[in-house]
């Protein structure tokens, strides 16, 4: 079962964890002290460019009836929506730009271009997901109550559809995100506070209604006035643009916590958790992917998921330089730093989801030492000499398991 | 490192409480949440939080013209969740009524350390302000919008479409120095709507006394210009003090005004050679001061003297004051008196207690979430005073929004909760 004791799992003493916290705090302080004109220009230009791109996409859709123009407009609009949601919306709502004191680019005022309400996202994401990251039963982002993404969850026949549900979730991701806070599961079981649910339902419907009216009524109607477009051509283009955004956002977010090596935790990890232990949990529970400037930008800098989880409110544009220092800290404390290429990381999330659609008897690994979840019990068989730090210990445990398998195979032969 | 604020638990029973009507339930939930310690029970419990609604943009000048409002509502159908302004301002920064903006057309040097900024306001600015009022002005410095208030020195003329403020660079005043010396024509600034009670009524009283010193002349200049334009200068006496003659802002204009209007008399006082004006001996300067409506603006000491003198004469109602108060952060680690503006409560808080805890201790429903500074659920406007970030020691100034869970009072402050 998932990690129940973070310090024991991490092979660190209390004083190690304390100094780890001091080092990570120092990085935060350096970044906060050096925020300035350059950062503020970056976000203002990003916002301006995104809005211009959106207008260009809409114009292309209105201007020409050529198939190529339709695709160009649709993809442009999809890209604009991705940038709005990821590099701008998600990060602004995290308060990454609150320090500028600009009421138009502020966590308390930003409403984003998707069906879910910002207010609900700030609860489910900023609070629940970022505070209780990967804690089973607390962080609903672990499977969204729909997917089995760790064998810590008991298998149910429902899980046979894992691959299908994930495909559906990816295609309609904005609706998954938007409905998350309504906690439909609880609502149908009657385990919710009905008044609070009704308030949320009203807030959600108002936001979603405006979004639907914009993409599927107002814009198609406006562009149908142009000889180059029809109501239905724009409607279809907007739907496809939304799906492009949904699939990409889903992929990036899944790469953050579901590739191999992103750990899961139990509620006991939170008992009296210090800041250092919280930092540790964020590092162990997140995974990065590697990419150039374009991929970084298009992922809203969430390819630096580890750094984002350590410092959710520091500007996204600085995460790349932060990552260099965080890697050094990981090396110093012999901690793993989970990363890989985007396709490999994304492939691993699908692999896990595919595997976990099966009952446990078809799975080789136990929940104490599986790709998607481990616990401190995986180290019980190791000699003390093999346990310098977590990264070495994981390598030792892996080597030992390989030896055992070879021995068993030899025996069978 | 033991961090008490991190260890506070908030396992409540409901996942979410809407802000309205939350105050009743809020405290009960909070208490319950704190009592449910770990290890006992949390299997089916959900963490609680109180979130504020996402603040929707307000459009300045909405509701004045029905046609425009309708066009706007229609355009918003295709720009939601943004406003048409959010796109139009990309073409011209002044084409937005979402935030009042203005473009600096000219920075005119008045004296060695003061300058007049001529500003062309953008959409939504209303020119029907009253002479003597001040505006908030936000300037982008090192990536941050910094706000200060300055008296308008222009006269409210709708047809002019420009406003002016006059700023004196204060030795310790970071922003005033920037405005006098560092703002280039063309710079876009943010504006807050004109406000203030220190105003000249229309029609003006028959006899008027102005007592000003230094940059305290600025609101009075707007009044004088307005009185001149309305031809209401019947009997105005103006006592103005400045360190030396060359420090007098608007010296030429005041002299010209005196020459062209028989009803206007100005007495300049160079305090470096003549000493300060002693208001207790005002009879020597102006025997009939008691009969006049007086407007005074200048240093704190002068205004306090004026209050005393007018009070002693039993004519408090004839004295109008404007104080240019500048709030400063307290010495490191010192708390202060914290006022919660909406709930009307005030209490003394030390410099180590998070403002969220302080508010909750007197039963105020503070918005809250993670209680560790990461989720931004608790962000509220800081109306006045300074607060300090308990994690980094960074000071936040009035006009910013702050996270109450990791901020403590740094001197007296006022929160919009």
**Are residue B175 and residue B106 in the same domain, yes or no?**
yes
The full set of domain ranges for chain A reads 381-413
pLDDT of A84 reads 98
The residues in B 252-271 lying below 8 A from A, measured between CB atoms, are none
At residue B408, φ and ψ (nearest 5 deg) are -120, 160
Residue B42 has pLDDT above 60, yes or no: no
Question: Starting at the edge strand that comes first in sequence, how are the strands of the sheet with B207-213 ordered?
Answer: B264-270, B235-242, B207-213, B293-297, B319-322
Provide the β-strand partners of residue B320: B295
Q: Which of A99, A109, A196 sits opposite B57 (nearest CB)?
A: A109
Distances (CA, A) of B114 to B211, B243, B247: 20, 14, 9
Residues B238 and B268 in one domain: yes
User: A126 and chain B: CB distance < 8 Å anywhere?
Assistant: yes
| DSSP per-residue letters across A86-137 | IIIIIHHHTTTTGGG--TTS-TTT---SSSS-HHHHIIIIIIIIHHSTTBTT
CA dist., res. A298 & res. A303, Å (int): 9
Task: For chain B, count helices (H), then strands (E).
Answer: 11, 19
Whether B164 and B257 share a structural domain = no
Question: Is residue B28, in this structure, part of any structural domain at all?
Answer: no
Q: What is the mean pLDDT of chain B?
A: 87
Task: Choose from A127, A275, A280 for mutation: most chain B CBs within 10 A.
Answer: A127
Same domain for B180 and B213, yes or no, is: no
Is B44 part of any domain? no
Tokens of A48: 């301006």
The verdict on B104 and B141 lying in the same domain is yes
Q: Which of B275, B290, B322 is the last residue of a domain?
A: B322
Q: What is the pLDDT of residues B240-270, one digit of tens each?
A: 999 999 999 999 999 999 999 999 999 999 9
Residue B15 has what pLDDT? 34
Q: Are residues B84 and B191 in the same domain?
A: yes
Is there a contact between A101 and B51 if contact means CB atoms under 8 Å apart?
no
Which of B39, B90, B370 has the CB atom closest to A131's CB atom? B370
Whether residue B369 lies inside any domain: the answer is yes
**Any chain B CB within 8 A of the CB of A26?**
no
Residue B337 has pLDDT above 90, yes or no: yes
A94 interface with B at CB cutoff 8 Å: yes
Q: Provide the number of structural domains found in chain B.
A: 3
Please check whether residue B223 lies inside any domain of the structure.
Answer: yes
Q: Are residues B381 and B295 in the same domain?
A: no
- Which chain B residues contact residue A226 at CB under 8 A? none
Q: What average pLDDT does this structure show over B220-235? A: 95
Q: What is the pLDDT of residues B83-95, one digit of tens each?
A: 999 999 999 999 9
- Please tell me which residue of chain A has the smallest CA distance to B20: A199
The reply to whether B56 touches chain A by the CB within 8 Å rule is yes
Residue at B65 is within a domain = no
Contact residues on chain A for B22, CB-CB shorter than 8 A: none
Taking the alpha carbons at both ends of chain A, their separation in whole angstroms is 33
CATH classification of the domain holding B223: 3.40.50.80
CB A40 within 8 A of CB B143: yes
Residue B222: give the domain boundaries. 207-322
Chain B CB contacts of A101 under 8 Å are 144-147, 399-401
Do residues B267 and B359 both lie within one domain?
no
Q: Are residues B259 and B302 in the same domain?
A: yes
- The alpha carbon of residue B348 is apart from the nearest alpha carbon of chain A, in Å, by 27
Give the separation between CA A355 and CA A3, rounded to whole angstroms: 21
pLDDT score recorded for residue A288: 97
Q: Does the structure show a pLDDT above 60 at B32?
A: no
Query: Considering the domain boundaries, does residue B2 fall inside one?
Result: no
**Cβ contacts of A214 on chain B, cutoff 8 Å:** 77-80
For residue B242, what is the enclosing H or E element?
Answer: strand B235-242
Q: State how far the Cα of A278 lies from the Cα of B161, in Å rounded to an integer.
A: 56
Tokens matching residue A250: 């889903």
pLDDT exceeds 50 at position B20: no
Domain identity same for B91 and B116: yes
Predicted confidence at residue B326, as pLDDT, reads 64
Q: Does A270 sit within 8 Å of B38, measured CB to CB?
A: yes
Tell me the CATH number at B147: 2.40.30.10
**Among A37, A123, A131, whose Cβ lies nearest the Cβ of B372?**
A131
Which residues 86-125 of B are in CB contact (within 8 Å) with A?
86-87, 90, 98-99
Per-residue confidence (pLDDT) for residue A15, from 0 to 100 = 95
Q: Are the C-beta atoms of B164 and B119 separated by less than 8 Å?
A: yes
Å between A403 CA and nearest CA of chain B: 39
pLDDT in 10s for each residue of chain A, 413 residues: 899 999 999 999 999 999 999 999 999 999 999 999 999 999 999 999 999 999 999 999 999 889 999 999 999 999 999 999 999 999 999 999 999 999 999 999 999 999 999 999 999 999 999 999 999 989 989 998 899 999 999 999 999 999 999 999 999 999 999 999 888 877 888 878 888 889 999 999 999 999 999 999 999 999 999 998 999 999 999 999 999 999 999 999 999 999 999 999 999 888 889 999 999 999 999 999 999 999 999 999 999 999 999 999 999 999 999 999 999 999 999 999 999 999 999 999 999 999 999 999 999 999 999 999 999 999 988 887 776 899 999 999 999 989 988 998 888 87
- Residue B34, pLDDT score: 42
Q: Give me the pLDDT at residue A113, please.
A: 97
Residue B180: inside a domain, yes or no? yes
Indicate if the pLDDT at residue B2 is higher than 50.
Answer: no
**Cis peptide preceding B81, ω within 30 of 0:** yes
With bands split at pLDDT 50, 70 and 90, how would you rate the model's confidence at B332?
A: low
pLDDT over 80 (residue B68): yes
Asked if A128's CB is within 8 angstroms of B394's CB, the reply is: no
Under a CB-based contact definition with an 8 Å cutoff, are residues A305 and B38 in contact?
Answer: no
Q: B-chain residues within 8 Å CB-CB of A273?
A: 6-7
**B284 within domain boundaries:** yes
pLDDT of residue A222: 95
Q: How far is B402 from chain A (nearest CA, A)?
A: 9
**B366 and B266 in one domain?**
no
Res B325: pLDDT: 67
B170 pLDDT above the threshold of 90: no
Are residue B174 and residue B222 in the same domain, yes or no?
no
Classify residue A309 by its DSSP letter.
Answer: H
Any CB–CB contact under 8 A between A9 and chain B? no
Query: Apex CA A145: angle with CA A140 and CA A149, to 5°?
Result: 85
């Amino acid at each position: 079962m998932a990690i129940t004791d973070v310090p024991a799992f991490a092979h660190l003493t209390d004083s190690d964890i304390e100094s780890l916290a001091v080092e990570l705090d120092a990085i935060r302080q350096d970044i906060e002290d050096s925020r300035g004109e350059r950062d503020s220009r970056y976000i203002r230009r990003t916002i301006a460019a995104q809005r211009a791109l959106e207008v260009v996409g809409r114009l292309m859709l209105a201007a020409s009836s050529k198939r190529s123009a339709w695709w160009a407009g649709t993809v442009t609009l999809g890209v604009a929506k991705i940038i709005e949601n990821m590099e701008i919306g998600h990060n602004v709502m995290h308060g990454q730009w609150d320090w500028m004191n600009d009421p138009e680019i502020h966590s308390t005022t930003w409403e984003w271009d998707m069906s879910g309400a910002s207010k609900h996202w700030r609860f489910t994401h900023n609070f629940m997901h970022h505070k209780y990251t990967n804690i089973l039963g607390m962080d609903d982002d672990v499977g969204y109550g729909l997917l089995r993404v760790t064998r810590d969850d008991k298998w149910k026949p429902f899980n046979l559809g894992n691959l299908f549900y994930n495909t559906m979730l990816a295609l309609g991701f904005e609706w998954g995100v938007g409905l998350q806070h309504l906690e439909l599961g609880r609502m149908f079981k009657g385990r919710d506070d009905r008044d609070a649910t009704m308030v949320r339902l009203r807030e959600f419907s108002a936001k979603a209604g405006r979004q639907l009216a914009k993409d599927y009524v107002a814009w198609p109607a406006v562009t149908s006035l142009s000889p180059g477009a029809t109501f239905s051509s724009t409607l279809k283009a907007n739907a496809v643009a939304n799906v492009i955004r949904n699939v990409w956002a889903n992929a990036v977010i899944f790469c953050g916590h579901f590739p191999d090596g992103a750990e899961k935790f139990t509620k006991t990890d939170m008992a009296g958790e210090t800041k250092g232990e919280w930092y540790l949990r964020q590092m162990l529970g997140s995974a990065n992917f590697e990419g150039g400037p374009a991929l970084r930008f298009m992922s809203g800098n969430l390819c630096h998921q580890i750094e984002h989880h350590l410092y959710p409110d520091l500007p996204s544009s600085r995460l790349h330089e932060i990552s260099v220092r965080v890697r050094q800290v990981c090396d110093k404390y012999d901690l793993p730093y989970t990363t890989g290429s985007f396709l490999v990381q994304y492939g691993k999330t699908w692999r896990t989801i595919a595997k976990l659609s099966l009952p446990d008897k078809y799975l080789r690994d136990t929940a104490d030492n599986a790709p998607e979840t481990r616990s401190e019990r995986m180290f019980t068989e190791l000699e003390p000499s093999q346990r310098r730090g977590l990264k070495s210990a994981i390598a030792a445990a892996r080597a030992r398991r390989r030896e055992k398998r070879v021995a068993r195979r030899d025996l069978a032969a | 490192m033991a961090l008490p604020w991190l260890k506070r638990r908030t396992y409540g029973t409901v996942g979410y409480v809407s802000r309205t009507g939350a105050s009743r339930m809020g405290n009960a939930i909070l208490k319950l949440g704190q009592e449910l310690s770990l290890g006992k029970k949390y299997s089916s419990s959900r963490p609680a939080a109180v979130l504020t609604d996402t603040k929707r943009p307000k459009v300045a000048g909405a509701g004045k013209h029905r046609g425009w409002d309708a066009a706007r509502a229609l355009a918003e159908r295709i720009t939601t969740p943004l406003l048409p302004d959010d796109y139009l301002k990309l073409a011209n920064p002044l084409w937005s009524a979402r935030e009042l903006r203005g473009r600096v057309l000219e920075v005119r040097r008045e004296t060695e350390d003061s300058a007049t900024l001529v500003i062309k306001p953008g959409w939504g600015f209303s020119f029907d302000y009253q002479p003597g009022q001040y505006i908030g002005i936000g300037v982008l410095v090192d990536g941050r919008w910094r706000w200060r208030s300055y008296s308008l020195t222009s006269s409210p003329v709708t047809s002019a479409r420009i406003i002016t403020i006059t700023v004196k660079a204060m030795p310790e005043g970071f922003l005033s120095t920037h405005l006098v010396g560092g703002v280039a024509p063309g710079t876009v600034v943010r504006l807050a709507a004109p406000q203030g009670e220190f105003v000249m009524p229309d029609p003006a009283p028959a006899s008027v006394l102005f007592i000003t010193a230094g940059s305290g002349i600025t609101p009075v200049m707007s009044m004088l210009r307005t009185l001149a334009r309305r031809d209401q200068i019947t009997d105005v006496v103006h006592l103005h003090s400045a360190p030396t003659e060359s420090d007098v802002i608007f010296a030429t204009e005041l002299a010209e005004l005196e020459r062209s209007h028989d009803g206007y008399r100005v007495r300049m006082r160079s305090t470096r050679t003549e000493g300060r004006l002693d208001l207790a001996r005002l009879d020597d300067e102006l025997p009939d001061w008691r009969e006049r409506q007086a407007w005074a603006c200048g240093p704190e000491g002068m205004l306090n003297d004026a209050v005393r003198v007018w009070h002693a004469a039993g004519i408090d109602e004839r004295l109008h004051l404007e104080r240019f108060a500048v709030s400063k952060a307290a010495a490191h680690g010192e708390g202060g008196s914290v006022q919660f503006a909406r709930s009307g409560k005030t209490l003394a808080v030390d410099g180590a207690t998070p403002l969220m805890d302080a508010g909750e201790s007197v039963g105020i429903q503070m918005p809250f979430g993670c209680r560790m500074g990461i989720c931004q659920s608790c962000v509220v406007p800081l109306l006045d005073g300074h607060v300090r970030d308990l994690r980094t020691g960074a000071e936040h100034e009035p006009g910013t929004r702050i996270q109450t869970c990791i901020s403590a009072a740094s001197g007296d402050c006022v929160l919009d909760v």
